[in-house]
């Protein structure tokens, strides 16, 4: 019982601490922290319209985070997730701009294309890693840049509208190519929500209850031992990349097929990197992902109103978010240290060794 | 029954509390949406200060702004979200100050038919695609770019001028071409040199500002310019790398100069080597629009607004200007003033309406296609595909080194 309240405290405290630090900062720049938090709250939850903005950011963020749960479980730093989103967006854009199909077929095809784009881009990172021994961080960074260059090239070249135009985006997609919103007031795609739900459940189930999930965990904990114990670690890593890439591809597709309705440069917008942060924050516990991404989406989405209404510096929400991350990491560190000095509290489930995984099987 | 009564009393209280707020609410709120930071010393700052000008000159005017609206800096929000918040703050007119916002502004204009939208640099109102509550406005920067080119040609000692280009589209092509025409004219007529020996090169970095790993790095590109014999850089991008690098080179003892862009205060980055800056002055333009809306006389237009030829730097009347820099020698300053006087005489002559100075035949595209025969003036704008025009310039002009597409 004492342990549980301790753990709970260590989860809630950092949130309170970061709110407090941000409040002090806000007062230092001469603003009223209550007004700031009020505006963020209103900006996120005032009405259906503002809430839909939150959900529209939550969807891609949750998707990439769930994808990253898979790669992190396999012990892989999939920095390339941004590029995988970007390529998902590019592939979906190709479908939206060129295919002439009835919406009932076109939209699923676009989503499959997005998965293909993200999956392919992730597979490249995987091949570099497993075949050529290029660390996934380097491969990922390079492929992120390539994905951005490719999308800017396509926007300013082949997909430029006939009349020239701004070259800041492709022409808007035809209405049939876009995901329909649930209602004019609640501009959220039902299909996307369903996909997010399916992805969350599938990732949790796959990691907990399948041989594949166990192999990923074994690879992640200790690839060498896992290999010696007969786990095909190369194949596990490859499959983790591809699954993550496909999910990130959907997120990228969502950005173009719903959020913007056209392809724009840097359409992934750092959401992939934010996803990395989320997964580190929740210590790779999949169940926590939807909640934490929701908090992030609410703070960031709500900050639009903050900026417009109070004209505070645009990065304030980022500061709050940064403190939140620092505080959680700090408390995670404290928790680790507390556990180390109190080994009696170590439970079986806390530490999984390849051996215990094997026993699980 | 008592419950209903208390509800009624409560409602009355609320009404009383709200009424005075509504009554004293004579302020006129307008929205300003920026693609970059409001203090970028370039494109976005020029708009932001235009908004501040309206606040200062129109009684009761109050600006609400949103800076850095682009997928990378604000992935969590869209133009429609920002517009919704601004309308909620009481905004009745919203300026969307980038061509990047063109499509989204059309969507927002449809969603909020009672709000007036002004999209800067788009062409929807010209092509007839725009909703009735949406106008376009742009400044005739071409004039000021010709002056920029002239200043560069007067200053260059190596006869090699470089243009730091953003990405390639109609707008950027015609601005590069304008600078080139100004440079060629002054190199021949004021500097007294052979225009055939003038080198004018453009390098496109790929976007309006530096995106590390994606665009060419404008700092590196500018260094390359100087390493390859150019001694003047004319900037066409949203940010200040061109003049910053030129300032560093000058500090090392090199004879180099820069012409920055967009924002009247841009020379401050390195005043000693700044030849001058072609800039937008949105204040009077925006003030005019706001006043029309207040008076109820606003109508949809596609405006391409030139300088005030009485004084192109008059802060209360001119939409476009050129501030001469301290890097300009006395002699060159005299020549440049004479050039501006020549241009003014041209522009104020009725016979030259809807054309630009120096945009006169023989003019051809880079591939040799003639777009204006000897003595023929190229129209400022003509429907795309029907006739060549300055607005829809499809290639760079013959004589410029660099990519047209």
Q: Mean pLDDT of successive 10-residue segments in chain B (405 residues)?
A: 48 44 66 92 93 94 93 88 94 92 91 95 83 92 97 97 92 95 97 95 89 86 96 94 96 96 92 96 94 91 92 94 95 96 95 94 94 94 89 94 88
* Residue A127 exposed, middle or buried by CB count within 10 Å (0-12, 13-18, 19+): middle
With a CB cutoff of 8 Å and minimum separation 6, the contacts of A129 are A76, A135, A136, A139, A237, A241
Q: Is B52 on the interface with A (CB under 8 A)?
A: no
- Residues B365, B184 contacting (CB under 8 angstroms): no
- Euclidean distance between CA atoms B379 and B359, whole angstroms: 9
What count of CB pairs under 8 Å joins A to B? 116
| Interchain contact, A156 vs B82, CB within 8 Å | no
Domain B19-139+283-305, CATH class in plain words: alpha beta
For residue A50, cis peptide bond before it (omega within 30 degrees of 0): no
> Which residues in B lie closer than 8 A to residue A311 (C-beta atoms)?
64-65
Give the distance from residue A13's alpha carbon to the nearest chain B alpha carbon, in angstroms. 26
Q: Which residue of A has its CA nearest to B75?
A: A269
Please report, for residues A23, A151, B72, B168, B180, the alpha-carbon distance to residue A154 in angstroms, rounded to integers and kept in the order given.
Answer: 44, 5, 18, 13, 29
Residue-level pLDDT at A164: 59
| Interchain contact, A148 vs B213, CB within 8 Å | yes
DSSP per-residue codes, B113-167? TTSEEEEET--HHHHT-S-TTEEEEEE-HHHHHHHHHHHHHHH-SSSEEEEEE-S
Q: Is A78 on the interface with B (CB under 8 A)?
A: no
The two structure tokens encoding residue A87: 């390529």
- Residues A141, A264 contacting (CB under 8 angstroms): no
| DSSP-derived 3-state class of residue B203 | strand
Give the distance from residue A41's alpha carbon to the nearest chain B alpha carbon, in angstroms. 13
| Closest to B223 in 3D by CA, of B197, B254, B263 | B254
Residue-level pLDDT at A309: 86
Supply φ then ψ for residue A232, to 5 degrees: -75, 85
Give the distance from residue B388's alpha carbon to the nearest chain A alpha carbon, in angstroms. 13
| Closest to B83 in 3D by CA, of B21, B23, B133 | B133
- Euclidean distance between CA atoms A359 and B151, whole angstroms: 80
- Euclidean distance between CA atoms A108 and A114, whole angstroms: 10
- Euclidean distance between CA atoms A126 and A133, whole angstroms: 10
Q: Is A172 on the interface with B (CB under 8 A)?
A: yes
| DSSP-derived 3-state class of residue B389 | coil
DSSP per-residue codes, A76-105? ---TTHHHHHHHHHHHHHHHHHH----HHH
Q: Is B122 on the interface with A (CB under 8 A)?
A: yes
Domain A52-313, CATH class in plain words: mainly alpha
- Residues B119, B101 contacting (CB under 8 angstroms): yes
Q: Is A278 on the interface with B (CB under 8 A)?
A: no
> Which residues in B lie closer than 8 A to residue A261 (C-beta atoms)?
103, 107
- Euclidean distance between CA atoms B325 and B321, whole angstroms: 13
| Closest to A248 in 3D by CA, of A275, A287, A217 | A275
| Interchain contact, A259 vs B67, CB within 8 Å | no
Buried b / exposed e across A193-214, counting CB within 10 Å, b at 16+? eebbeebbeebbebbeeeebbb
- Helix residue spans in chain A (DSSP H): 2-28, 33-45, 48-73, 81-98, 103-130, 136-156, 190-209, 211-221, 223-228, 233-254, 271-281, 289-310, 316-341, 354-360
Give the distance from residue B14's alpha carbon to the nearest chain A alpha carbon, in angstroms. 19
pLDDT band at A8 (very low <50, low <70, confident <90, very high): low
A296 alpha-carbon distance from chain centroid: 11
With a CB cutoff of 8 Å and minimum separation 6, the contacts of A357 are A214, A217, A218, A221
Residue-level pLDDT at B268: 93
Q: Is A158 on the interface with B (CB under 8 A)?
A: no
- Euclidean distance between CA atoms B110 and A217, whole angstroms: 51
Q: Is A264 on the interface with B (CB under 8 A)?
A: yes
| Interchain contact, A304 vs B76, CB within 8 Å | yes
In sequence order, the β-bridge partners of residue B162 are: B201, B233
> Which residues in A lie closer than 8 A to residue B74 (C-beta atoms)?
269, 304, 314
- Euclidean distance between CA atoms A279 and A104, whole angstroms: 34
% pLDDT > 70, chain A: 89
Q: Is B216 on the interface with A (CB under 8 A)?
A: no
| Interchain contact, A156 vs B168, CB within 8 Å | yes
| DSSP-derived 3-state class of residue A170 | coil
> Which residues in A lie closer than 8 A to residue B84 (C-beta atoms)?
49-50
Q: Is A297 on the interface with B (CB under 8 A)?
A: yes
| Interchain contact, A168 vs B81, CB within 8 Å | no
Residue A80: CB atoms within 10 Å: 35
- Residues A81, A121 contacting (CB under 8 angstroms): no
- Residues B235, B144 contacting (CB under 8 angstroms): no
Residue-level pLDDT at B167: 86
Supply φ then ψ for residue A216, to 5 degrees: -60, -45
Sign of the CA dihedral running A52, A53, A58, A59:
positive
Residue A37: CB atoms within 10 Å: 18
Give the distance from residue B183's alpha carbon to the nearest chain A alpha carbon, in angstroms. 26
| Interchain contact, B67 vs A149, CB within 8 Å | no
Put simply, the chain A residues between 82 and 121 with a CB less than 8 A from any chain B CB are none
% pLDDT > 90, chain A: 52
Nearest to B75 among A171, A270, A314 (CB): A270
Residues in chain A: 361
In the 3-class helix/strand/coil scheme, how is B321-362 assigned residue by residue?
Answer: EEEECCCCCHHHHHHHHHHHHHHHHHHCCHHHCCEEEEEECC
| DSSP-derived 3-state class of residue B396 | coil
Q: Is A243 on the interface with B (CB under 8 A)?
A: no
Report pLDDT digits (tens) over A13-54.
777 888 888 888 888 888 888 888 888 899 899 999 899 999
- Euclidean distance between CA atoms B264 and B41, whole angstroms: 8
Residue B18: CB atoms within 10 Å: 10
> Which residues in A lie closer than 8 A to residue B108 (C-beta atoms)?
none
Give the distance from residue B353's alpha carbon to the nearest chain A alpha carbon, in angstroms. 25
Give the distance from residue B323's alpha carbon to the nearest chain A alpha carbon, in angstroms. 28
- Euclidean distance between CA atoms A71 and A275, whole angstroms: 12
Q: Is B186 on the interface with A (CB under 8 A)?
A: no
Q: State the residue for tokens 């369903």.
A: A194
Residues in chain B: 405
Q: Which residue of B has its CA nearest to A168?
A: B100
pLDDT band at A330 (very low <50, low <70, confident <90, very high): confident
> Which residues in A lie closer than 8 A to residue B88 (C-beta atoms)?
305
> Which residues in A lie closer than 8 A to residue B76 (C-beta atoms)?
53, 57, 297, 300-301, 303-304
- Euclidean distance between CA atoms A218 and A226, whole angstroms: 6
In sequence order, the β-bridge partners of residue B305 are: B139
- Region of B333 on the Ramachandran plot (φ > 0 left; ψ -120 to 50 alpha; else beta): alpha
Supply φ then ψ for residue B160, to 5 degrees: -130, 115
| Interchain contact, B103 vs A169, CB within 8 Å | yes
Q: State the residue for tokens 């007119």.
A: B93
ipTM of the complex, rounded to two decimals: 0.82
| Interchain contact, B77 vs A53, CB within 8 Å | yes
* Residue B309 exposed, middle or buried by CB count within 10 Å (0-12, 13-18, 19+): middle
Nearest to A265 among B65, B66, B207 (CB): B207
Q: Is A314 on the interface with B (CB under 8 A)?
A: yes
The two structure tokens encoding residue B98: 């980038």
Mutate to test the interface with A, among B75, B76, B78, B84 (most CBs of A within 10 A): B76
A360 has pLDDT over 50: no
With a CB cutoff of 8 Å and minimum separation 6, the contacts of B54 are B30, B61, B63, B283, B286, B287, B290
| Interchain contact, A304 vs B85, CB within 8 Å | yes
Q: Residue ranges of the domains in chain B?
A: 19-139+283-305, 141-280+321-379
With a CB cutoff of 8 Å and minimum separation 6, the contacts of A142 are none
Report pLDDT digits (tens) over A290-326.
998 998 899 888 888 888 888 777 677 778 778 877 8
| Interchain contact, B72 vs A269, CB within 8 Å | yes
Give the distance from residue A164's alpha carbon to the nearest chain B alpha carbon, in angstroms. 6
Residue-level pLDDT at B21: 43
* Residue A134 exposed, middle or buried by CB count within 10 Å (0-12, 13-18, 19+): middle
Q: Which fold has domain B141-280+321-379?
A: Rossmann fold (3.40.50)
> Which residues in B lie closer than 8 A to residue A260 (C-beta atoms)?
71, 78, 104
Give the distance from residue A303's alpha carbon to the nearest chain B alpha carbon, in angstroms. 9
- Residues B277, B325 contacting (CB under 8 angstroms): yes
- Euclidean distance between CA atoms B204 and B403, whole angstroms: 8
């Amino acid at each position: 019982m004492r342990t549980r309240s301790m753990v709970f405290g260590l989860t809630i405290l950092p949130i309170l601490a970061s709110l407090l630090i941000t409040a002090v900062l806000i007062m230092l720049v001469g603003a009223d922290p209550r007004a700031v938090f009020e505006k963020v709250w209103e900006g996120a939850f005032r009405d259906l319209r503002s809430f839909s903005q939150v959900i529209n950011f939550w969807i891609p963020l949750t998707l990439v985070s769930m994808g990253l749960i898979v790669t992190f479980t396999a012990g892989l730093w999939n920095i390339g997730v941004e590029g995988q989103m970007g390529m998902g967006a590019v592939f979906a854009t190709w479908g939206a701009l060129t295919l002439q199909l009835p919406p009932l077929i076109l939209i699923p095809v676009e989503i499959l294309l997005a998965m293909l784009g993200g999956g392919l881009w992730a597979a490249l990172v995987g091949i570099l890693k497993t075949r050529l021994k290029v660390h996934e961080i380097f491969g990922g960074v390079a492929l992120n840049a390539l994905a951005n260059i490719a999308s800017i090239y396509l926007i300013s070249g082949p997909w430029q509208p006939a009349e020239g135009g701004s070259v800041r985006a492709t022409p808007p997609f035809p209405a049939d190519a876009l995901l329909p919103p649930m209602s004019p007031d609640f501009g959220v795609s039902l299909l996307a929500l369903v996909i997010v739900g399916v992805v969350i459940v599938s990732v949790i189930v796959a990691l907990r209850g399948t041989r594949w999930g166990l192999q990923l965990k074994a690879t992640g904990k200790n690839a060498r031992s896992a290999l010696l114990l007969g786990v095909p670690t190369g194949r596990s890593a490859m499959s983790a990349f591809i699954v993550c890439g496909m999910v990130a591809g959907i997120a990228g597709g969502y950005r173009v097929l719903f959020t913007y309705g056209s392809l724009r440069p840097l359409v992934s917008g750092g959401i992939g990197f934010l996803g990395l942060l989320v997964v580190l924050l929740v210590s790779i516990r999949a169940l926590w992902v939807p909640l934490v991404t929701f908090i992030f989406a609410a703070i960031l989405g709500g900050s639009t109103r903050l900026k417009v209404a109070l004209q505070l510096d645009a990065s304030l929400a980022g500061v709050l978010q940064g403190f939140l991350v620092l505080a959680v990491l700090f408390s995670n560190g404290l928790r680790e240290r507390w556990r180390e000095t109190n080994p009696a509290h170590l439970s079986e489930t806390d530490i999984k060794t390849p051996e215990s995984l094997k026993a699980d099987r | 029954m008592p419950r209903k009564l208390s509800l009624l009393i409560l409602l009355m209280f609320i009404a009383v509390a709200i009424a005075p707020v509504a009554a004293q609410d004579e302020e006129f709120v307008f929205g300003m949406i920026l693609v970059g930071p409001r203090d970028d010393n370039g494109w976005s700052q020029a708009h932001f200060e235009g908004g501040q000008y309206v606040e200062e000159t129109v009684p009761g005017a109050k600006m609400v702004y949103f800076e850095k609206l682009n997928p990378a800096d604000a992935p969590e929000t869209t133009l429609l979200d920002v517009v919704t918040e601004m309308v909620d703050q009481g905004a009745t007119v919203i300026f969307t100050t980038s061509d990047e916002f063109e499509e989204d502004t059309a969507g927002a204009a449809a969603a909020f038919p009672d709000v007036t939208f002004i999209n800067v640099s788009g062409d929807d109102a010209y092509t007839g695609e725009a909703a009735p509550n949406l106008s376009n406005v742009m400044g005739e920067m071409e004039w000021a770019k010709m002056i920029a080119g002239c200043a560069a040609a007067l200053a260059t000692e190596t006869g090699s001028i470089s243009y730091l280009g953003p990405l390639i589209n109609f707008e950027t092509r015609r601005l590069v071409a304008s600078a080139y025409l100004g440079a060629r004219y002054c190199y021949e007529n004021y500097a007294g040199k052979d225009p055939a020996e003038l080198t004018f090169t453009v390098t496109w970095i790929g976007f309006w500002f530096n995106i590390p790993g994606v665009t060419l790095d404008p700092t590196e590109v500018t260094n390359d310019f100087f390493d390859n014999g150019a001694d003047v850089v004319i900037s066409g991008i949203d940010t200040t790398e061109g003049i910053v690098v030129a300032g560093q080179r000058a500090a090392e003892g090199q004879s180099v100069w820069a012409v920055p862009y967009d924002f009247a205060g841009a020379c401050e980055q390195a005043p000693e080597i700044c030849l001058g800056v072609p800039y937008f002055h949105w204040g009077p333009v925006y003030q005019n629009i706001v006043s029309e809306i207040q008076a109820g006389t606003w109508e949809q237009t596609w405006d391409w607004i030139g300088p005030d030829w009485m004084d192109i730097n008059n802060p209360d009347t001119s939409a476009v200007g050129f501030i001469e820099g301290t890097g300009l020698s006395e002699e060159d300053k005299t020549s440049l003033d004479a050039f501006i006087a020549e241009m003014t005489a041209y522009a104020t002559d009725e016979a030259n309406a809807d054309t630009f100075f120096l945009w006169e035949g023989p003019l051809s595209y880079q591939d040799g296609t003639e777009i204006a025969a000897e003595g023929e003036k190229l129209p400022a704008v003509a429907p795309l595909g029907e006739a060549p025009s300055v607005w829809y310039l499809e290639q760079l002009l013959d004589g410029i080194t660099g990519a047209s597409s």
